[in-house]
Structure 1
Amino acid sequence: MHGAQLDAIEREADARRHLLSPAEEMAKLGEESRPLLAYGEGIYVVDTRGRRLIDGPAGMWCTQVGYARQEIADAIAAQAMKLSYNSPWYTTNSPAAELAARIAEMTPGDLNRIFFTTGGSTAVDSALRFTEFYNNVLGRPDKKRIIVRKDGYHGSTNLTAACSGRAGNWPNFDIEQDRIVFISSPNMRLADGKSETEFLDHLVAEFQQTLEELGADTVAAFLAEPLLASGGVIIPPKGYHARIKALCEQHDIVYISDEVVTAFGRCGEWFASEKMFGVVPDIITFAKGVTSGYVPLGGLAISEKLLARVSGENAKGSYFTNGYTYTGHPVSCAAALANIAIMEKSNLLDHVRAMSEHFAAGLRSLADLPLVADVRSNGLVGCVECLADKTHVVADDFDRKIGARIDAICFDLGLIVRPIGHMCVLSPPLIITREEIDRMISILRQGILQAADELARGDISQI
């Protein structure tokens, strides 16, 4: 056994003994470790056992330009040597200023003021804190409720976790929900026979009724992903966002578009809200793809119209004191600028648009397989929903075991799938080619067929 193998074994042991990972199954704490990755290149990662894997989820929806991009590594190193840090409380830095200007060019409408955070959770948390600040300055201390949707996901801070409508994240945490109000998921599978138009009308009516019951003067914000990513790539009926936004405008409610997943090319646009989903929000949050995951960074873009109501002569002596030690971190912002330069130089948004239909067609080719209940996609993010009984709408624990089994089979065949319970989600690096999409779909097909075969044979222990 050579040195690299011994080192890998030691690191795996370190992980078992000392790491506490996200979504850790506590009954197995210390008994097993997750696959230890050694390096990445392009759309692939390689683990310490030499397995070469297509990174189907792009890390966590984020490695847009792929792994081992020298341009980003050089930008990080150069900025670290030039200015590794500045306190954002009383200084700023050139990369942060330049990146803010670049992002303001990309955002829709008048969302021209950028606030940087450490990632997606803190971006959404900061957006929600801004609505608190905003309404307090305006003398509306009771206008604080936040309307969110079932199946949505918005983060892991105390407030954003409370806004996340995936109940599986809640057990054994004290979720603060006094101000949080949930409305229905816009999932067409839950339409109960309604047409898309009828379902849209139903969802809008529910929102109106919720405002009437709560009192619109108590509602500060509506928080929504353009598509519900972690909920299973749920795509609302066409026109949904525009109609909800109109009601928000009518009742002076801040519309927040959580684009932590969908921004920076995932749907073929810098930001998906306006061009893909027909809405200009008041606030947009972002993270993940802004640096292609090379270093942490998040942020939000705020409408000038909103800011005008609480700044200048309208400030009433207020300070927006929300902030972080690493707000506008110079190294992170330099990485983001390099990432954007790569995307522009390679016309990556055009590439995503060109690949989107091929990706969608590949996913649709799986629709008639055993276990496959639904297929959904937009841009380069898609979901294959698998159920033991395809006539069911709601998954159970057994369906989730099937999802885990499909994931395990695909891993052995060379593909990382993100199993969200019973749903197989793919959101590959944006640089993926047609041939690589075909390979990815082929492996997922094999995984689903093998799991279906094991289920038919009654090999429940394997599932």
Structure 2
Amino acid sequence: MAAVKDMWKAGGGIEMLPSEDTVDLAKRHLVQPWPTAGEIGAETRSLIGSGDGIYITDGDGKRLIDGPAGMWCVNVGHRREELARVMYDQAMQLSYNTPWYTMNEPSAVLAERIAGHAPGDLSHVFFTTGGSSAVESALRFMQFYNNVRGRTEKKLILSRGGAYHGSTYLSASLNGRPRDRDWMDGADELIVKLSSPDPFRRLAGMSVAAFCDRLVAEFAETVKRIGADRIGAFVGEPVQASGGVIVPPEGYLRRIRKICRDNDILFIADEVVTAFGRLGHVFASGDVFGIDPDIITFAKGVTSGYFPLGGMIVSERLLEDLRRSNHPTAMYAHGLTYTSHPVGCAVALANLDLLENGVLAHAREVTPYFQAQLKTLEELPLVGEVRGVGLMACVECVADRDSKDPLELDRNVGQRIDAHCHDLGLLVRPLINMCVMSPPLTITREQIDDMVGILREGISRTMDDLRKEGVWRG
């Protein structure tokens, strides 16, 4: 490995190693996220070498459409020189300051810009390093808020099936996706789980409106049964992203918001995925769903993935309650070394400029075409439903459309489709029996046609495979 180290030094960290050397290093030293026990510390994944616009290039030099935009995050596309230059310029001016007893200009300016886009009276921003830490910060704020107000029993958190809120201890405790919690501990004594707002999985013969009524009734009954004096917050994604792009029924979020307000339960909208353009607006809560949460968490698209940054924006009302309390010296003893990082905040400001100056408008303009073209995939017998909103969508595959059973016969059907699509020039995010698509917001109609065409062929090849293996007859 001496030759590899010498090459890396000679390249200044820019020139890529031969792909086989990178794979070897990763297999011997790198622990990947979400590994299985049988492969932990000895696993390799697809090597990505470069990116440009909506495209990435893998370790073999193959050019691919970046279907998931990294991890829902490369919203303005790869290789934006404007962001790279701001990153360099800010690092040369101020690379870091401790947030414990100093502050920097980019974070103050960014907080003001973000507050200007937020709904209701959300006006103050606490910056973190990503989505998990943003949700964790919001939950710890809820606990602090109720402790200061003398409501030490008001700490339970309502979450839902299908939810994904992060990987830190409290945020991960909220997760409701299959397999996320099978082998991991959590703060189960603090969490109350509700049903997923997934209309596709509603009872046979039930209308979407009746399904919505049922969800709202379950929420209200849960609050009554447990007691509002014990429930501190409801945490929900406006669209359940990693749960399969679950778009709730019309009016559901507004009705849940009212129950929370009537019972003094904090409504925390987890917009880690939906904020900063994914649905065509900086925040989806107000502009798309007509709600004004008490707290919004965000990350990912705030820097388009160019720098790790996240945060929460908090209602002025909540902060005023704290300032008027009988405990003026009570401390919100929570912070991160990289809170309000000057480089990250500077990049986010430049990213917000790009969004405001055309990218958001473009996303709104191409969204109907994106959704309509993907919807044509429902012609394929393996596809049970295509659903989505904005520039995020999910193609869910089922063994049988009538029963809507997932493909128990092949839990890795999404990975099969991804493998075929990779060969054809598209990176897909496979989730068991689902394929999630959330490309950079800069995608054009022609590129949407390319993406959907490749995905159609990848699904068709997978159907052929399953038929040949005799495990599916669709």
Q: TM-score, normalised by structure 1?
A: 0.96
Q: Which amino acid aligns with 1:413?
A: L
Instruction: Give me the whole-angstrom Cα distance separating, in 2, the residues matched to 1:169 and 1:389.
Output: 25
In the alignment, which residue of structure 1 is the partner of 2:248?
236
Shift of 1:33: 1.2
* 1:37-56 correspondence runs (5 A): 37-56=48-67
RMSD: 1.6
In the alignment, which residue of structure 1 is the partner of 2:286?
274
SS of structure 1 residue aligned to 2:377: coil
- Go from structure 1 to structure 2 and tell me whether the alpha carbon gap of 1:30 and 1:314 turns closer, same or farther (over 3 Å shift): closer
In the alignment, which residue of structure 2 is the partner of 1:299?
311
- Maintained 8 Å contact 1:385/1:424: yes
In the alignment, which residue of structure 2 is the partner of 1:176?
187
Q: Does 1:260 align with 2:260?
A: no
Q: Which amino acid aligns with 1:259?
A: E
Instruction: Give me the whole-angstrom Cα distance separating, in 1, the residues matched to 2:286 and 2:77.
Output: 26
When the two structures are aligned, how many residues end up with a matched partner?
Answer: 458
Q: Which amino acid aligns with 2:261?
A: E
SS of structure 2 residue aligned to 1:112: strand
- Structure 1 unaligned residues grouped into runs of 5+: none
- Go from structure 1 to structure 2 and tell me whether the alpha carbon gap of 1:200 and 1:358 turns closer, same or farther (over 3 Å shift): same
Deviation string 1:134-161 (CA, Å, 9 cap, x unpaired) is 0000100000000000001000001111
Instruction: Give me the whole-angstrom Cα distance separating, in 2, the residues matched to 1:387 and 1:262.
Output: 26
Q: Does 1:419 align with 2:430?
A: yes
SS of structure 2 residue aligned to 1:383: strand
In the alignment, which residue of structure 2 is the partner of 1:153?
164
SS of structure 2 residue aligned to 1:35: coil
* 1:59-458 correspondence runs (5 A): 59-192=70-203, 193-312=205-324, 315-345=327-357, 347-458=358-469
- Structure 2 unaligned residues grouped into runs of 5+: 1-6, 8-14
- Maintained 8 Å contact 1:224/1:256: yes
Instruction: Give me the whole-angstrom Cα distance separating, in 2, the residues matched to 1:73 and 1:231.
Output: 32
- Maintained 8 Å contact 1:242/1:279: yes
- Maintained 8 Å contact 2:194/2:219: yes
Shift of 1:200: 1.0
- Maintained 8 Å contact 1:406/1:447: yes
Q: Which amino acid aligns with 1:244?
A: I
Deviation string 1:261-282 (CA, Å, 9 cap, x unpaired) is 0000000111001121121100
- Maintained 8 Å contact 1:5/1:48: no
Instruction: Give me the whole-angstrom Cα distance separating, in 2, the residues matched to 1:460 and 1:6.
Output: 42
SS of structure 1 residue aligned to 2:250: coil
Instruction: Give me the whole-angstrom Cα distance separating, in 1, the residues matched to 2:325 and 2:265.
Output: 22
Q: Which amino acid aligns with 2:195?
A: S
- Maintained 8 Å contact 1:150/1:183: yes
SS of structure 2 residue aligned to 1:365: helix
Moved more, 67-76 or 388-397: 388-397
Shift of 1:344: 2.1
- Go from structure 1 to structure 2 and tell me whether the alpha carbon gap of 1:412 and 1:148 turns closer, same or farther (over 3 Å shift): same
Shift of 1:348: 1.1
Q: TM-score, normalised by structure 2?
A: 0.94
Equivalent pairs: percent with the same residue? 52
Q: Which amino acid aligns with 2:316?
A: E
Instruction: Give me the whole-angstrom Cα distance separating, in 2, the residues matched to 1:417 and 1:48.
Output: 17
Shift of 1:398: 2.9
Instruction: Give me the whole-angstrom Cα distance separating, in 2, the residues matched to 1:53 and 1:392.
Output: 35
Shift of 1:396: 4.8
Q: Flag as ranges the 4+ runs of structure 1 deviating above 6 A.
A: 3-6
Moved more, 171-180 or 57-66: 171-180
Shift of 1:391: 2.6
Q: Which amino acid aligns with 2:148?
A: V
Q: Which amino acid aligns with 1:210?
A: T
